[in-house]
Chain A
Amino acid sequence: RKEVEQDPGPFNVPEGATVAFNCTYSNSASQSFFWYRQDCRKEPKLLMSVYSSGNEDGRFTAQLNRASQYISLLIRDSKLSDSATYLCVVLRYGNKLVFGAGTILRVKS
């Protein structure tokens, strides 16, 4: 079993749709949590950190459930430009970053 698991997708959604991605992690000693976005043939870029209280940045909302070891990302009012691979990332104790394999999102007009 992988330490960070994500549904690979692809998620094909129309513009304006709301889409949610989930991620589970197995190491309970994980310290910090992030969502990164990676465009085709580009480097990953930090989208947002994820906090237990939940956090929102515009159309993006991230949630963390430590008890269930579960992280989510909600995107509202999807734009064509949101098409990318979304990477769930966990910072393990000792500062080791562990990446999920990513979830592909395709937003279509």
Chain B
Amino acid sequence: GAGVSQSPSNKVTEKGKDVELRCDPISGHTALYWYRQSLGQGLEFLIYFQGNSAPDKSGLPSDRFSAERTGGSVSTLTIQRTQQEDSAVYLCASSFAGGDGYTFGSGTRLTVV
């Protein structure tokens, strides 16, 4: 596609439910990041995928968070047993070669009630 696509754009869920967030990177981009941004705050790194290498999961805040990337393309971020503090905008970014900069999707706004 022309850009990074994320779905859903908005998600409201009840505390304790699981959610899945999806990211379709730009075709051919081998690098993919997940970040989250709470209201008025900076971007918090979550996880990084590069080609077939093992992902860098060092930013995942707890074991309730996991992500996978199938076939080197689409990525899914899963949050289990959601908590209110998980409410944030979850942003995905992709790149062909990191030095060229990354393109962000428009994000998924997650609200846990």
Binding site for B on A (CB under 8 A): 31-32, 34, 42-46, 49, 87, 91, 94-102
Contact = CB atoms under 8 A, between A and B. Distances in A.
B4 to A, nearest CB: 9
Given A96-B45, A96-B48, A100-B42, A31 B104 contact: no
B48 A46 contact: no
- Majority-rule SS of A interface residues: strand
Contact of B101 (A34, A94, A100, A101): A34
Interface of B: 31, 33, 35, 41-43, 45, 48, 50, 56, 91, 93, 98-107
Nearest to B104: A43
Contacts, number: 49
B106 A43 contact: yes
11 contacts: A31-B98, A31-B99, A43-B91, A44-B43, A44-B91, A45-B104, A49-B99, A95-B50, A96-B56, A97-B33, A99-B42
B106 A95 contact: no
A33 B100 CA distance: 10
Contacts of A91: 98-99
